[in-house]
Chains A and B, each alone.
Chain A
Amino acid sequence: SQKIEQNSEALNIQEGKTATLTCNYTNYSPAYLQWYRQDPGRGPVFLLLIRENEKEKRKERLKVTFDTTLKQSLFHITASQPADSATYLCALGTDKLIFGTGTRLQVFP
């Protein structure tokens, strides 16, 4: 069956460092991959979309890579800030999205 894995343990990093979150998948060939941010008790907010024929996408301090051979996406936040603390979800799609469980990021001063 299709499976998406994100690190269930929280990632704790110091302000100013680069945070790297991982999304691995198996038994799936997605046409695209999306990353969302979710704050406690709220709906997810879209951050970035990357398609299967793209290797890398950037938006301000965010960067996402997509390796269809390794079946992995990496999500980077450079110069991280305490305001970046949230849960980050990856979602893979063809005709519909399948979400991972998310990784909680905590940025401390």
Chain B
Amino acid sequence: DGGITQSPKYLFRKEGQNVTLSCEQNLNHDAMYWYRQDPGQGLRLIYYSQIVNDFQKGDIAEGYSVSREKKESFPLTVTSAQKNPTAFYLCASSIDGRRGDEQFFGPGTRLTVL
């Protein structure tokens, strides 16, 4: 079964702690993305990667970091520098991000900072 997985589904963190959200896909897609969704707002792009070992900042990259060492994995670290990290985080992938291909989304991780 091909798909995109995110873990954990729910995550709680104390202020000042870094936390890493996992995203794995077995669709053999080149492009991967991280979005943040807040109530009443659309999805906002944090980081994206169109190929292994390369990634670009999205619209709200401050306080976040990523890596793309393997094609199937694109973990997101929420650092203590992120001022308001409580949100619903969505990972997505697409065949080739430059052609407008549909994006396949994972189930999301809901992060709550206590």
Contacts and interface: CB of A to CB of B under 8 A. Distances in A.
Nearest to B40: A101
B108 interface: yes
A65 to B, nearest CB: 17
A32 B101 CA distance: 10
B36 to A, nearest CB: 11
B26 to A, nearest CB: 16
B98 A45 contact: no
B54 interface: no
B84 interface: no
A89 B90 CA distance: 14
B55 interface: no
A109 interface: no
A34 B42 contact: no
B106 interface: yes
A31 interface: yes
A44 B105 contact: yes
B38 to A, nearest CB: 10
Contacts of A45: 105
B67 interface: no
A12 to B, nearest CB: 19
Contacts, number: 52
Interface residues of B, number: 23
Contacts of A61: none
Interface stretch (A13-21, A67-75, A77-85, A91-99): A91-99
B41 interface: yes
A46 B102 contact: yes
Contacts of B104: 46
Interface of B: 33, 35, 40-45, 48, 58, 90, 92, 97-98, 100, 102-108, 110
20 contacts: A8-B40, A32-B100, A41-B108, A42-B107, A43-B105, A44-B43, A44-B90, A45-B105, A46-B102, A46-B104, A49-B100, A93-B100, A96-B33, A96-B97, A98-B45, A99-B42, A99-B43, A99-B44, A101-B40, A101-B41
